Amino acid sequence: MGDIINGKILAEDFKQKIKAQIDEAVSKGYRVPCLATIVVGNDGGSIYYANNQKKLCDKLGLKNRSIFLEETIDEKDLILLIKELNEDNTVDGIMLQVPLPKNLNEEEITNLISPYKDVDGLTDFNNGKFYKGKKAFVPCTPRSVMHLIKSTGMDISGKNAVVIGRSNIVGKPVTQLLLNENATVTVCHSRTKDLKSVCKNADILVVAMGKPKFIDDSYIKEGAVVIDVGTSSVDGKICGDVDFDKVINIASHLTPVPGGVGSVTTTLLIKNTCEAWEKNVY
């Protein structure tokens, strides 16, 4: 029986460090970090995440400017808002919730965010730096995956890692981060032949395919670390891509859904905001 990797405990550890850092800054008379969150339209996920960010900012002592805009907003006004936030010295991080409504040019607009305030790593500028192996803001989900793997104490160097999924927000950046840690990385996807035998060879398996409970124990090498990035809704409940009850018997470590990857991401966004703030304040 493997160990459950508890995302909530990991997040709690980060939160305590952030809180301590901000308490210290306040005691020294510095201004506290500020995250600006922009939601355009009525996307349920975006509103949910924005509210979570606000709650966590409140809890840890950061300022949060939550800006909710009508779906019908003129593109020019949104651009103007981003430019104002870029130039505002009291704002450290800008989180533009995507997807934007279809009438807005998402790529062009996200690229207007100052790379120094782009705390979710949305801009091409930060992406380019990241894939060259340079310091840059990295989207929070792949960062969460890496923190969860490292929390097991595994030495990643030289291990066989398999990533299922090649999306811009999970598969590709996770691949890059695993390479940075000297894993041998195989990227699989819908066109991969004999997925099972590839996975069976994985010391580290990161699953981001969006197929509820697709990966059972027949895909797992004994003792593997398995990270489940899937979040499908099944019968009103959030469900991962991994069949937890079967895989926990053969993996050495496995993340639950919920309570795994997703439990850490908002905290990492706040952590990125604090890193941007440190450069502005200290």
Annotated binding site for NADP(+): 165-167, 231
Residue 90 touches a copy of itself, criterion: CB under 8 A: no
- From 102, 191, 233, 236, residue interacting with a copy of itself (rule: CB under 8 A): 191
Q: CB of residue 208 vs a copy of itself: minimum separation in angstroms? A: 14
Residue 198 touches a copy of itself, criterion: CB under 8 A: yes
Residue 123 touches a copy of itself, criterion: CB under 8 A: yes
List, as residue ranges, the binding site. 165-167, 231
- From 132, 233, 235, 279, residue interacting with a copy of itself (rule: CB under 8 A): 132
Residue 200 touches a copy of itself, criterion: CB under 8 A: no
Which residues within the stretch 151-190 sit at the binding site for a copy of itself (CB under 8 A)? 157-158, 160, 166, 168, 172, 175-176, 179, 182, 184-189
Instruction: Compare residues 111 and 232 and give the one whose CB is closer to a copy of itself.
Output: 111
Residue 134 touches a copy of itself, criterion: CB under 8 A: yes
Chain center to CA of 185? 20
Q: Kindly list the strands in the beta sheet with 93-96, ordered across the sheet, starting from the edge strand earlier in the chain.
A: 63-69, 34-40, 93-96
Residue 133 touches a copy of itself, criterion: CB under 8 A: yes
Residue 192 touches a copy of itself, criterion: CB under 8 A: yes
Residue 63 touches a copy of itself, criterion: CB under 8 A: no
Would you tell me which residues interact with a copy of itself (CB under 8 A)?
A: 107, 123-129, 131-134, 157-158, 160, 166, 168, 172, 175-176, 179, 182, 184-189, 191-193, 198
